[in-house]
Amino acid sequence: MSIRARFDTESEHVDLVQPNDGYQYATILATLVAPLSRGNITLTSTDTQDLPIINIPALQSPTDQQVTVASYKRVRQACASSFMQKIIIGDEYYPGASVQTDAQILEAIKGTLQAVWHASSICKMGLSADSMAVVDSHARVYGVKGVRVVDASAFPSLPPGHPRSTIYALAEKIADLIKNGQSYSGSGPHQEQSHTTIDSREFGIPSTPTYTSLHNTWTIFTSCQPGQ
């Protein structure tokens, strides 16, 4: 929601919902940190240069809708506090005081919804019996030899907070498993010479070697938002 307010300092960069009327406007955001709505990614071909189809059904879950509407109402309560009233001028600018019912609030939210970067769970960790699971508890990709996914992609769901520390913890855990010799054969030190191969029976695409190595170590990749 956007409000008109007095500030002690002026910003040169205005990226808010505000009219050009000489006043400064502030937008207060509420973030859904552990959404239950689930999207999907569909490969369009076997060519890695072809972009996939990404489906993001935001606020599809009734629980997400309820939490988001409640968060919006909480923001309004904060704006109505005696402290905020000292700097707020006039009424709420967007979406406005006329938006009151849960249905109206939800529609307003859908019209201004934006992501806050932390995409996750596209290669979820799970049991082999789970058709949606991509990696096992050691982050090893089902049906593929020599490949692990060690970043937020492997999360079954997004944790309720900033994911960086959880990504670090996952990377440390899998790194320890690899250093201690937890290979595909089970246990013990190993020196592996193999092709990284996709199982065409499971994935329906050509089983073509893509990488060959002789190694005692693995490389762990983690993905974090810079500066956060």
- Domains along the chain? 2-112 (3.30.560.10), 118-228 (no CATH)
Q: Quick check: 82 pLDDT over 70? A: yes
**pLDDT score recorded for residue 194:** 37
148 versus 2: which is more confidently predicted? 148
Query: β-strands 212-215, 192-195: how paired?
Result: antiparallel
Average pLDDT score over residue span 187-211: 38
Q: Quick check: 215 pLDDT over 60? A: no
Residues 6+ positions from 112 with CB-CB distance below 8 Å: 17
pTM: 0.66
Most confident option among 82-96, 180-194, 210-224: 82-96
Average pLDDT score over residue span 214-227: 39
- Residue 190 annotated among the catalytic residues of the structure: no
Q: Quick check: 9 pLDDT over 80? A: no
**pLDDT score recorded for residue 165:** 94
Q: Quick check: 130 pLDDT over 60? A: yes
Q: Quick check: 226 pLDDT over 90? A: no
Average pLDDT score over residue span 54-63: 92
Per cent of the chain over pLDDT 70 is 71
What is the identity of the amino acid at 36?
Answer: L
> What digits encode the pLDDT tens for the residues 135-186?
999 999 999 999 999 999 999 988 888 899 999 999 999 999 999 876 554 4
Per cent of the chain over pLDDT 90 is 43
CA pair distance 141, 40, nearest whole angstrom:
18
Which residue of the set 118, 162, 190, 215 is catalytic? 118
**pLDDT score recorded for residue 213:** 34
**pLDDT score recorded for residue 113:** 87
